[in-house]
Structure 1
Amino acid sequence: GIGAASSVSIPKGKNEVLYPLSANGGAGIGAWKVYALGSANAGGTAWVSSQLATLEVASQFVTLSLQRAATEQGQSTEVVGKVNLATAFPGQAKVELLGLPNEATTVVKMITKDTKEVIFPVKTTKKTRAGTHKSLFCRVTIMRGGEAILHSNVGGTQLQVDKPLPPKKNEPPKPKPKAVAKKKAPPKPMPKKVVRLTRLQKLRLEAKKKREAAAAGGSK
């Protein structure tokens, strides 16, 4: 369950080197004694051994459940991950979304032991290859005792990148609505002309009304 490179070389003039180790899901949990053997050609092969060191193998601190995402070339989307905390860790942990296709970018996120969800904004360009990209995964880096502990493959998901839909062809112009003739309003009646009577006409009219009134009174 523990993996390491078969050997590493110490550069000339240096007296130390980093020896990366990795553990898979089958590694036994516990404290293990390890040591390193070194050799060099000094007029013949010389061997040297390090002192015993303790390698602690612990359960994963955190895992991620990533959701699938989809977008079109030149557009943006989000990859959402649920944070599953197994062992509390101090401070912040760095989370990277890796395995994106060319011309697709995102940002590094930081989480704590209290984080429940992490969201990666993903930007694509028109040159991002269309298709289903199944190689997305997260890498989590946790600092403990001054040492970086890598969770190198935490959760996996897919990103679907589609080509934009072609623009719709020009549709035939819609027929213009027929003009509806407005009904003409009936003509307004002409105002009656006011006839102004002369003084003589007024006297004659008054005399006529008196005669008619007298005649009406005599017939009773």
Structure 2
Amino acid sequence: MAQPDERYRLTHTSQIGTVLRDLSWQKCLLTVRTRTGHQFVTSVLHMDPVNRTFIFDWCNADAERHSLMTSDENAFSGLLRGVPVNFMVGRPSATRYEDGPAFIVEFPEKLYHFQRRRHFRARTLVTKGYRCEIRNPDNSVLALDVADLSLSGVGLRSRTVGEDRLPVGTMVSRCRLDFRELGKLDIDLQVVGHWLVGNDDSAIHHYGCAFVNPDGRMENFLQRLVFSLELAHRG
């Protein structure tokens, strides 16, 4: 499997469970490749969010089934509504589902869901110093750098603001996006993704944030901002 893009990594159980449930509901076909190179096609039959397990369809071929059940690394890949999904699980067990044989296995530790972007995303120049300021209930301020901007959301980054300070799912009211000479914008947003680039003192936290109900005036301003940022980046 190709090296996945860390921007699309999901590690929260609820997010992983949602994707597995959707794979089941949509009856998506998934290719399973075992550590020894055997592969077959299956589908998710059931997802249990409490026990963090899911059930997938049985394999009748002896060699593939034996390889799967003795392998600690089994790679799943498929499409959900046309969007790639990849994840790795450990060794499954045999079970029964709706009077037929099936496999059961624990949730993957991480799952990659390569979501399509709704809108074009313009990157910012680091040297411009565009910032996002989030005011905490105690009136202290979290300051992060703006990495990119679209009509539907903003990418933020920071060396100091870790996921414990800004966990996925957080709703932020009236954060301020400061684009210096281009203007300022106060808007509500929700943190929808987090990934870490690097693993030492120079590691940078990246956050994907979606705007919450921007009005028409804000959308017009965002359109001008995105256009200006793209022109500056090309220049």
- Would the TM-score normalized by the shorter structure come out above 0.5? no
Query: Which has the greater radius of gyration?
Result: 1
Q: TM-score by structure 1 length? A: 0.24
